[in-house]
Every structure is written in C-alpha cells, then in structure tokens.
Amino acid sequence: MLHSNSFKTTGDRIRKLTGFHKKEAPITYLGCPITTGRQKIIHFSDLINKIVNKITGWQSKILSYGGKATLIKHVLQSMPIHILSAASPPSTILKQIQGILADFFWGWRNDKKKYHWSSWKNLSFPYEEGGIGVRLMKDVCQAFQFKQWWTFRSKQTLWGDFLRSKYCQRSNPISKKWDTGESQNWRLMMRNRAEAEKHIQWKINSGDCSFWWDNWLGVGPLAYYTTESNRFNNEKVADFMEDGQWNMGKVIQFAPHGDMGAGGILRNNKGDIIFAFSAPLGQGTNNHAEVEAANFGLTWCAQLKYDNLILEVDSQLLVDWFRNKTAAPWTISSQMQKLHQLATQFTHFRCIHTVREANFVADSLSKHSHQISNPQVYFNITQLPKLAAAFFQQDLAGMASFRRRKLKRIK
C-alpha cells in the first residue's frame, strides 16, 4: 500500500529491499483487514463467514441450551477477539455477529428461527443476575478501545510516538481536540478518552507526568480547576520540585485556588446558641477549608474552657482523616496535626459526620464569610446574619430542611 502520488521508483525500492509486493487496499495482514479511510462492512465479511461456517459444522439440533452456551462463550465469541484487539468494526458488524450467536442459541425449526425468549442483553448478565454469562460484542470492542488508550498513555511504543508526533506536538493528549481530516482511529480514541481517563491516576516518581493535565492528585487534571487556558502548557511535576522537595513558592504562585471561608456554631444540649463564627480564610481547596474551619472553632472552644465537645461536620473525608481511617493529603497534613492536638485539650471529644441538610446554619455562615474581610463572632441570634438566623429558628422549631437542586429550564 502506497500513496497514490508516490513515485514509481519509491515502490520499486521498497519491493527490492523488503521483498513485499504492491497490492491495492483493502488487504489482510495477520488476519486483520487494513484499509484507508472509514471501515466498511465488506472488509469484515471473512470474519462473518468463519463464524457461520463454524456453526454450520455443528449438529445444533442435538445440543442442549447449556452446550450451546458453552460453545458460544468459549469458541464463537473468541473468534473475533484478535480482530477486535487491532481494529474497531462498524456497529453493524457487531450486531450481525450478535444476531448469529442468538439464532444459534435459540435454534431453528423448519428453516425458521425459533422465538427468542430473552434479549441478548439480558443473557449477557452473570448467572447470579439471571443471565448466562455471554458477552456483548459492543462491550468487548469498547474494552479493547480503552486498552488502546491506556497503552498510548502509559507505555513508550513506536505506535504511540507516531501518534504523539502527529497529533500532540504542542498540546497534551488530554487537551487535544479532534479536527476534521484526522484518522478515524484517532477519533475513536478521542471519543473514549474522557471515560478511560477517569480510571487512570499517576504516581509521582521522577515527576515526568504533566502538572496540569495528568491526574496525579486523584481529583482529575488541575487545568480543569483554573480559568486560565493551559492547553499548550506542558510543564511537568518535576518543574515544581527542587532536590526532591516541592518548590512551594512556585506551587503557590501557579496552582489553582479558590476563596475559602469558615462557618460554625456552638450549641448547648438544648440546641441554644453559645457562639457562632464566620471567617474568611484566603485561598485554598475545599478540603483545606474544612480543616481550617474545624481548627478555628475548636480554638475558640478551648479558649472558653469547654470540656465536653462533639464536632459535627458535613465532610465524611474530614471524619475519616481525623479517625485515621484514610491518610490525609500531604497539603493539609500540618492542619490535621493541629486538629488532633486541639482535640486532646478536651476531656470528652468526638468527631462525627452529619448531612448537609442538618448543617445549614454553619453552611450559611461559611458562605457569609465571602462577603466580609475579617472574622466575626456572634453570641446570640440577633447578631447572626439573616439567612443563618432563619435556619437557626427553623432548627429550634424542629422543621425539616431540604437541599434544593437547580434545574435547567428547557426552552
């Protein structure tokens, strides 16, 4: 296969050096059809014929449903695996193969198909869920497409180097957009990229992964958390490190942060207010804000000499970090250490999780902190901001709180 504009002398040289003969597309190489442009149904006709011929050679009338299911799972569905691992057939081919397997399973009578008592999708469920454990060909094909993206992202291969030099010379593969005229194979990879990237997380060793586009924090690409365009920013994690340590000056300068605020309320056993607070905390992440808010409130409680305390937060992560069920991120390790030290100053202390609907007073105080420049402390209901006071009155009355969802209006 050569480009139509190639010189005849080029073809002669290739034939002389390799011994290959020129042939027009499509061709079959190692059992896989190779062609230019979009894949067509006719390119996979040999695969369909092989499956049909295999079934024709069996005496299906004397096979039980269990025997047919075994042959389908271990023989027929393994036949297209090689091609599916290298190419992505049109959906019509996958449906055709699935239809042939379904007809074989339910059988024929007087040259007519028997009634299919269940769909192939239902049969694809495990035995425990009412199926027979066969595979959907669409799922098999998609699994190989995900593996293709994983290989491209995680391994250094000649094929991967070719794709990167052709499509990702300036931008990261995550930020790359598919353009008209690019190959269909690359288009499939772009289509599956978002779902595959959800399951890829990078570990920092030499810091060779992308600072902005690789998921090395476990929360997705950092570029999604900033308003600046970092499409062509190819800085690596190693660029933010010096002698194996973080260059905190550079991290603070370039890493994305949002405004943080703290809000909380201390009540007695009857639910009456003892004090409440609202405090701006500068810039940082949500997790940073949760820990700082807890530290702010506990510091006040310690100064006022309270001994018995229950800390209720609507962040399950904070509760797990405090109870050492999971390790806290290194970015807030010092704040978590301070929280543990503050907890030791109380005779009886517990940290428990509460739902957001039961924490509306503290939540509204936290949001109010974005409207003020200095911390504020309140000692009675009349001093509270209007929204926080309304939620507090609602709590005293024993009224249920509901979380509202914003719905987009369809025009």
Domain ranges of the chain: 8-135, 141-197, 202-256, 258-396
31-38: long-range contacts, CB 8 A cutoff, minimum separation 24: 31/82, 31/83, 32/82, 32/83, 32/86, 32/87, 33/83, 33/87, 34/1, 36/1, 37/184, 38/184
**Cis previous bond, 89, omega within 30:** no
Q: What is the pLDDT of residue 410?
A: 43
Strand ranges of the sheet holding 376-378, from the earlier edge strand across to the other edge: 258-267, 273-284, 376-378
- Between the two ends of the chain, the Cα-to-Cα distance in Å is 52
pLDDT recorded at residue 403: 54
Q: What is the pLDDT along the chain (411 residues), one digit of tens a residue?
A: 666 677 778 878 888 888 877 777 777 777 787 777 777 888 888 889 999 999 888 877 788 889 999 999 999 988 988 888 888 888 899 999 999 999 999 888 888 888 999 998 899 998 888 888 898 999 999 999 999 999 999 888 999 999 999 888 888 888 888 787 788 888 889 988 989 988 888 888 888 888 888 888 887 888 877 766 677 778 888 888 888 888 877 876 776 666 788 899 999 888 889 999 999 888 777 788 889 889 999 998 998 889 899 999 888 888 998 988 888 877 788 889 999 999 999 999 999 998 877 788 888 898 898 888 889 999 998 999 998 888 888 888 877 665 555 444 443
Residue 411, pLDDT score: 39
Alpha carbons 33 and 50: distance in angstroms, whole number: 14
Global pTM exceeds 0.85: no
What is the predicted pLDDT for the residue at 407? 47
Q: Which amino acid is at 87?
A: A
With H, G, I as helix, E, B as strand and everything else as coil, classify residue 246: strand
Distances (CA, A) of 347 to 272, 291, 294, 298, 306: 22, 21, 18, 13, 9
How far is Cα 361 from Cα 119, in angstroms, rounded to an integer? 52
Q: What span, in angstroms and rounded, lies between the C-alpha atoms of 231 and 212?
A: 9
Burial class (CB in 10 A: 0-12, 13-18, 19+), 169: exposed
Q: Is 115 helix (H, G, I), strand (E, B) or coil?
A: coil
Is residue 26 reached through a cis peptide bond, with omega within 30 degrees of 0 on the bond before it? yes
Coil, strand or helix at 198: coil
Q: What is the pLDDT of residue 100?
A: 92
Q: Is 70 helix (H, G, I), strand (E, B) or coil?
A: helix
For residue 152, give the amino acid letter: F
Find how far residue 257's CA is from the centre of its chain.
Answer: 21
pLDDT at residue number 158: 93
What is the model's pLDDT at position 406?
46
For the 258-396 domain, the top CATH level (class) is alpha beta
Please tell me the predicted confidence (pLDDT) of residue 162. Answer: 92
Residue 71 has what pLDDT? 92
